[in-house]
Every structure is written in structure tokens, then in C-alpha cells.
Amino acid sequence: MKKVFLSLITVLLLSSCSNNKVEVTYLKDGQKYTEIVCMDFISGNETILSPYIESVKFGYLDSVSFPDGNPDDMNVHISYMPLNFRTRIKPYSPEYYAVYAIHNIHRAIEYYNSLFDNKIDFNSQTYHRDIEIVFGDIDLLTTPKTYFFEENSTMAPSLFFHEIGHRAFWYLEGEMGINFQGLTIVHMGLLQYFTMSLNNSPVEMEENPNYPNVFRRDARNVHAYPLDSTYMLRYTFKNIENAYKEKIANQEGSIFKYLSAIYGAYDSFVLDNFADNHFGGMVLASALWRIREKIGQETTDLLVAQTIVNLNEYQNMREDYYIGDKSDLYSGIDWSDVLFGMINKDKEYFDGKNIPIIIDEFSKTGYPVQSVKY
């Protein structure tokens, strides 16, 4: 009876779209699926009707540049074109990408609102209320404001969930004061867990089929602590070089310019000893995903979210709860604060019944859980 009722709701929702809908093909777990998207966030006069987005622009990427050779300071040069939502949207048109972007940005923001009881004020991030859809050759440098796609490529919801996750965690650290101390692997691992949980998939970021071994981050793979050389920056950039060989041959192209900025800014010590936070974060994210598989999404999401808002308190308790070498821990939030927090939150919400599972999965990852006194 419940399935029949849910199906009826789905039919009613889709019928309310009238002709104001579009079928989108998307990528999840390396497979293609289709989804009907209601365009109720676009009015008849093409105004964006969204509580989170003011405008959407479309353009073609002309070039990128890196002032002073800083790879973290990219200037994007775009030729903008008008979007037209008044006619039927064609597959893989600019409007097709724009509609799916808005749809998934809404989904991600509403998910984070539910996780954190609307404490994250996304609308205070005014710079990100205007987004851009850009056709270009540098999709690996997508940001929460500018989404790059190769023409005729298949979008993945996880991309949008990940980028909105950045906005959520910027707010958690900046406005709410969680002591991550930057985009660390723990910061990223928590973000990546929520990306996977919202997408109901262990694949945190889909792989571009045209450039294998660059993007895909899969929690089903073994991600062990401590991080080995395959998590270091050099390994990541070598993968990019191998995947984009043809594009790198064009010295006026975006990928060549980006890698040139990277190798100009980072010396061998940095490349060999600093972890890529996106891949390093999967160590924590995969442990949380395995916990989710055993105790469910609702329980795990609650424990992780409630732990996050109390992480500063748990970090301040290290002197009492951490009996290992404290110099091994990061000065900001580290894995032990997350574990200790989840243990305490499970005691608070579930009488501690999930603690053995939580500890076991952290232990399987290689975290020295014996140092955490609980």
C-alpha cells in the first residue's frame, strides 16, 4: 500500500509540471539513468524563482589565466550567451545543463538545511547566488559558482552535491567557528560523506569517461590510514598529466596552463609530502560510509551532523580522552575528535548501541582507536 501511495504522489507531482519539465540523463555509479525534472523554478518570463539562486548565466570558455602563477587564483575568461527557457529544451543544450544544475543545487541546500536545522545561512553567501554554466575544457576546476562541462557530456548529481558541500563547510568553519583550520582531509572527509549520503552512492565523485583515473572517488575501494604516497599531490597531478595528454600538448589550453601554475608554485617537498585533500578525505569518508551501510542513513547522518557542531568541544577534551601521542594529531580538528564525538552522540541518542560498529570501522581504516578513551 505504501509503494502505491508513493507512486501516486510521484504521478501527481509530474502531472503538475504540465509541459514545464525536461528529461535529463545523468551519471551515477558509472551508469546512466534518466530523471524528469520539473522546471517550477523558472517563470514564464524566464525569471529564476528560487530561494537560493538569483541568476544563471551561460558561456563558452575562452581561456584561463593564473595571475602571479598562483594555481589557487584562477581568472576565467568567458564569452556569455543568453539562455532561452521559452522553447522546448533540447538535450545537452545550455538550458538543459542549467536546469539540472538548479535542480540539484536546490536538493543539496535543502539536505544541508535538514541536517543542520537551517543553521547554515546559504543566502548570506551572496557571491554564490549567481551561478554560471560554462562549456569548456577544464571541468576539473569546477567551483560552487562556475560549473564547467564539456559539450554533450553527461552530468552527475554528485558534482553539485560536492560543490554545495564546500559552501556548507565554509559556513561551518567561518561563521559557526568549527576549528577545521582550512580545507584539511578531515574537513573534506566529512563533506564527502554527506555528498555520498545525499546521492545514496559510495561514489563520491564520478569519473569522466573521457579522462579515466582522475576524478572517481569510490568508498568501496580500500582507503587506509595513515596515507601513503598515492594520496600525495604529485600522484594526483601525474594522473592528470596521463589522462589529459592530448590537451596538455596545447600550450594555450587550460590544462597546460593549470599544470604549469602548479609546478611553478609547488616544490618537490610539497608535491611529495602534502596530501591531496580530496583523495585523502576519502579515508574518513569511506569509514563513515561503511558505518552508514550497517546502521542506516538517518542514524549516521544524525550522528555525523551532531558531532560536527560539537567538534570544538571534543577537541578541547583531548587532554582527557586521548591517551596516545598527542603530537601525532593535527592542531585543528582531527579524526580522533570525530570518533570521540560520534561515540558520545551515540550514547546520547541511541544508548550507545552503535558504538561497537563505529569503533570497528574506524579500526579497520587503521586509525589507532585504542588511543581514544571513552
Residue 204 and residue 195 in contact, taking contact as beta carbons nearer than 8 Å:
yes
pLDDT per residue as tens digits for the range 22-38: 999 999 999 999 999 99
- Residue 6 above 50 pLDDT? no
pLDDT per residue as tens digits for the range 235-259: 999 999 998 888 899 999 999 999 9
CA distance to 250, 271, 276, 323, per residue, from 232 (Å)? 26, 7, 5, 29
Q: Which of 25-39, 212-226, 275-289, 360-374 comes out lowest in average pLDDT?
A: 212-226
% of the chain surpassing 90 pLDDT: 84
Q: In which band, very low, low, confident or very high, does the pLDDT at 139 lie, cut at 50, 70 and 90?
A: confident
Q: Which of 43-52, 99-108, 350-359 comes out lowest in average pLDDT?
A: 43-52
**What residues have CB less than 8 Å from 53, skipping those under 6 apart?**
41, 102, 105, 129, 130, 131
pLDDT per residue as tens digits for the range 155-183: 999 999 999 999 999 999 999 999 999 99
% of the chain surpassing 70 pLDDT: 95
**What does the pLDDT read at residue 2?**
35
Q: In which band, very low, low, confident or very high, does the pLDDT at 16 lie, cut at 50, 70 and 90?
A: low
Q: How far apart are CA 57 and CA 55, in angstroms?
A: 7
Report the chain's mean pLDDT, rounded to a whole number: 93
pLDDT per residue as tens digits for the range 295-314: 999 999 999 999 999 999 99
**What does the pLDDT read at residue 14?**
40
Domain boundaries, the chain: 22-161, 178-227+275-374
**What does the pLDDT read at residue 45?**
73
Q: In which band, very low, low, confident or very high, does the pLDDT at 15 lie, cut at 50, 70 and 90?
A: very low
Please tell us whether the domain made up of 178-227+275-374 is placed in CATH 1.10.390. yes
| Lookup result for grid cell 537560493 | 52
**What does the pLDDT read at residue 4?**
38
Q: In which band, very low, low, confident or very high, does the pLDDT at 1 lie, cut at 50, 70 and 90?
A: very low
